[in-house]
Amino acid sequence: MTSTEQDRPAVALHDVGKRFPGVVAVSGVTLAIPPGEVHVFAGENGAGKSTLMKLIAQVEQPSSGRIELDGVPVAYQGPGAARRLGVVMVHQEFALAPDLSVAENLFIGHEPGRGGWISRAEERRAARELLGHVGLDIDPGRRVALLSTAEQQRVELAKALTVQAKVLILDEPTASLTEREAEELFGIVRELTARGIAVLYISHRLDEIFEIGDRVTVMRDGAVVATRPVTELDEDRLVQLMVGRDVENLYPRTHNKPGPVRLEVRGLTRDDAVRDVSFEVRAGEIVGLAGLVGAGRTELARAVFGAELPDAGTIALDGKRLRIRGPSDAIAAGIGYLTESRKTDGLALPLGVDKNITLAKLPMRAGLIDLAAERKIAERERDGLRIRVPWVGRPVRTLSGGNQQKVILARWLETGAEVLFFDEPGRGMDVGAKSEMFQQMDSLAARGKAVVFISSYLPELLNMCDRILVMRGGRITGEVARAEFSEERVVALATGARNVENGGNHD
């Protein structure tokens, strides 16, 4: 690469805008990103980050302005044309064919061969070489459906190499990864930038912005607020730029003296996923569940909630033993569960906000759903939780992740739940929405509710919890009191490191 080519931006935006009916999604963005840079885009949900990336990847057509790739203006011709020009976008929901092999996914549409015949042997050989570049040692003939999330993500990265990507767009790439998998991803990103690929990186996680980014562009209301080298910012300043105000405390926790035991679980077992687990949660407590992916945290929550029936064990609420044969029994007893996957398990996406809020407790009149009461309930919860939707009949699928999460919380508030499980509640949410969700958790605890908080992001647990229970292999391997909180101790218990005593063991 000549010095002139090195100086030329990999992608340049000149007064780029995008308007949808009644909405300005992107407004007047001018920006140049050189080859080999990790350029992070930060901002709240709805700030315009994803729309801007879709404009660069030609998923959407700009309403105004000009986009240049490698110094050459490009006309809108669709995502296929963008890929041929070297722009690859890896979405949160991977664009892979699950029933095809890894090799077939890598070369779909441009299979190696001659005379119209596909050479599967050459396809597998080339696939193995590409997979090696992203640190993935698997059989190229393996079906994609059998791969883990982290493995599928690496296949997506390998796909970018098949078209000799110049610009790689990653949208929340660590949302479903463990910390170890995230670190491995960062290593791959650094190798790609060392080869001159510009990486455009969307993230809500502040720590990884500072770990992986070279520069960060903050967007708000569709416009660029600031572009700065990461070294010139700290977390407080970055958050202030993102939300347009000072967020005094992202983790607004008030630690009060816990009250009597509310939830008591003894000897809960379900296959190998949950093995002889015992714990309790007191009134006013937020108890964290930490552990690596597959440790059994979600399975434990689902077993208590009745979504997966346990083989053994007992569950009691306020000293009364419960007989839970399904979620309806748990709801009737006063247990609520904000699921890990709100779109798959938590929401009826085609239905309105109002019907999602009342889903677990329908307002009835003369044997029929009272639609007027349903609307009033939804409007009250909308105003109380500040759910950003003008009309409660609007389909919930159109809301941002943070507002969708508030809809689920509103549902459990309407049931009067006394025990609430929050399973990865901050995933895919911006800092402002996370702060609001944590405020709600703190408020629930202050009102004497028992809260169980599952998170793979340790700073959330360390800042919000009164105690942390650590799981590994379906068991609780240790309990960490607030006075002993440290990332090292939690990680050691989660991984089975021998240099940390397993204080507070539950057998």
Where do the domains of the chain lie, and which CATH numbers do they carry?
3-243 (3.40.50.300), 261-343+415-495 (3.40.50.300)
Do the beta carbons of residue 365 and residue 424 sit within 8 Å?
A: no
Alpha carbon distance 394, 45 (integer Å): 18
With a CB cutoff of 8 Å and minimum separation 6, the contacts of 43 are: 49, 218, 219, 220, 225, 242, 430
- As a whole number of angstroms, the distance between CA 129 and CA 240 comes to 44
278 exposure class (CB count in 10 Å sphere: 0-12, 13-18, 19+)? middle
DSSP, residue by residue, 310-369? -SEEEEEETTEEP--SSHHHHHHHTEEEE-S-IIIII--TTSBHHHHHTTTS--EETTEE
Count other Cβ atoms within 10 Å, centred on residue 119. Answer: 13
To which residue do tokens 């799981």 refer?
A: 471
Q: What are 455's two structure tokens?
A: 């998170």
Q: Which helix (H) or strand (E) holds 246?
A: none
Tokens of 459: 């700073």
**CA 404 to CA 343: how far, in whole Å?**
9
- State the pTM of this model: 0.65
Answer whether 471's CB lies under 8 Å from 296's CB. Answer: yes
Q: Digits of tens for pLDDT over the chain (507 positions)?
A: 454 555 789 999 999 999 987 778 899 999 999 999 999 999 877 788 989 999 999 999 999 999 999 999 999 999 889 988 999 888 776 778 888 899 988 888 777 777 678 788 888 888 898 888 888 888 988 998 888 877 888 888 888 777 788 999 998 888 767 777 788 889 889 988 999 999 999 987 888 899 999 999 999 889 999 999 999 998 888 888 887 765 556 787 887 889 999 999 999 999 989 999 999 999 999 999 998 777 899 999 999 999 999 999 999 999 999 999 999 999 999 999 998 877 778 888 899 999 999 998 989 889 899 999 999 999 999 998 888 888 999 999 888 777 888 999 999 999 999 999 999 888 767 777 788 889 999 999 999 999 999 998 888 899 999 999 999 999 999 999 999 998 888 888 987 765 444 444 433
C-alpha span between 260 and 282 (Å, rounded): 5
